[in-house]
Amino acid sequence: MSNYNLNFISNEDLFNHVKETVLKYRFKIDLKEFNKNLIDPIKLTFDSKVYQKDLQSLIDDEIMRQIDKSNTNHIGYFHQNIFKYFGNGWSVPKEGFDIVNENLKIFVEMKNKHNTMNSSSSQKTYMNMQNKILKEPNAKCFLVEVIAKNSQNIFWSVSLNGQSISDDRIRRVSIDKFYEIVTGEKEAFKNLCEQLPIVIDDVIHSIEDEIMQNSVFEELQKISPNILKSLYLLSFSRYEGFGNFNI
């Protein structure tokens, strides 16, 4: 294991947390999984002709799109759960707020991107925070955004019933500023990002048996050597005339 030179988390805890995240990733996909949401062969035909791409490349792109969609949630796991290793009262409850420090009375909701909440969910989250500071006047509530527009620690203002509401105890905080609050280090988040590729490499080398297994193309060839025909039959085999389909 490498020395990652981070003051706020041990080498072992960081390695294990990254490993837990990596192992949540999808490593296997077959034709049944690939077609779970019904592949559109007509779109693939257009894409192939318009962009002059071979079908295998398009299928590989679609596979990665599907895998990426499920893996996005695992990155949320990484961002949230790393704080349970930082000590000093920081915890990740199973329910309620995403991250909590009861000693400092800080309660956090974390979002990956600044634009992931619509007005309704923003209002709901804000009212939940309002309720918290009403019950505990010394509490501070943060909306922490991993990908924010700016590096910031500002009042969070929302519109409720047409009226702009804000409270200095309810704040909108970018992830770099939150790391600074948690660790006391201004560049803690930057330092983590610098080490992350090294940690992931170490983890991947430790789980080499967990290689990507993709049988989609092989299974399509069993339907027909003509991959485009296989894609049409996969989706339209029960439609009129497709029992004698040639392309």
Instruction: From residue 106, give the alpha-carbon distance in Å to each of 3, 60, 114, 134, 159.
Output: 31, 44, 20, 14, 23
Residue 212, pLDDT score: 66
Residue 247, pLDDT score: 82
Asked whether the beta carbons of 119 and 84 are under 8 A apart, the reply is: no
Residue 28, pLDDT score: 78
Residue 110 phi/psi, 5° resolution?
-115, 135
Q: What is the pLDDT along the chain (247 residues), one digit of tens a residue?
A: 689 999 999 999 999 999 999 988 877 788 888 888 788 999 999 999 999 988 888 888 888 887 787 778 789 899 999 999 999 999 999 999 999 999 999 999 999 876 667 788 888 999 999 999 999 999 999 999 999 999 999 999 888 777 888 899 999 999 999 999 999 999 999 999 999 999 999 998 888 765 667 788 888 888 888 988 898 888 888 888 888 888 8
Q: How far is the C-alpha of 93 from the C-alpha of 132, rounded, in Å?
A: 15
Asked whether the beta carbons of 91 and 121 are under 8 A apart, the reply is: no
Helices 227-236 and 55-81 cross at an angle (nearest 10°) of 60
Q: Is the dihedral of CA 230, 236, 241, 243 positive or negative?
A: positive
What the block records as the tokens of 36 is 């779970």
pTM of the model as a whole: 0.80
Q: How far is the C-alpha of 245 from the C-alpha of 247, rounded, in Å?
A: 7
Residue 211, pLDDT score: 61
Q: How far is the C-alpha of 142 from the C-alpha of 156, rounded, in Å?
A: 9
- What b/e string do you get for 132-149 counting C-beta neighbours within 10 Å, with b at 16 or more? bbeeeeebbbbbbbbebe
Q: How far is the C-alpha of 99 from the C-alpha of 226, rounded, in Å?
A: 52
Strand partners, 140: 106
Element at 101 (helix H, strand E): strand 99-101
Give the strand pairing for 158-160 and 213-214: unpaired
Residue 87, pLDDT score: 92
3-state secondary structure of 2: coil
Residue 127, pLDDT score: 92
Q: How far is the C-alpha of 63 from the C-alpha of 27, rounded, in Å?
A: 11
Residue 181, pLDDT score: 97
Domain residue limits, the chain: 11-82+204-240, 88-203
Q: Is the dihedral of CA 204, 13, 178, 79 positive or negative?
A: positive
Residue 114, pLDDT score: 62
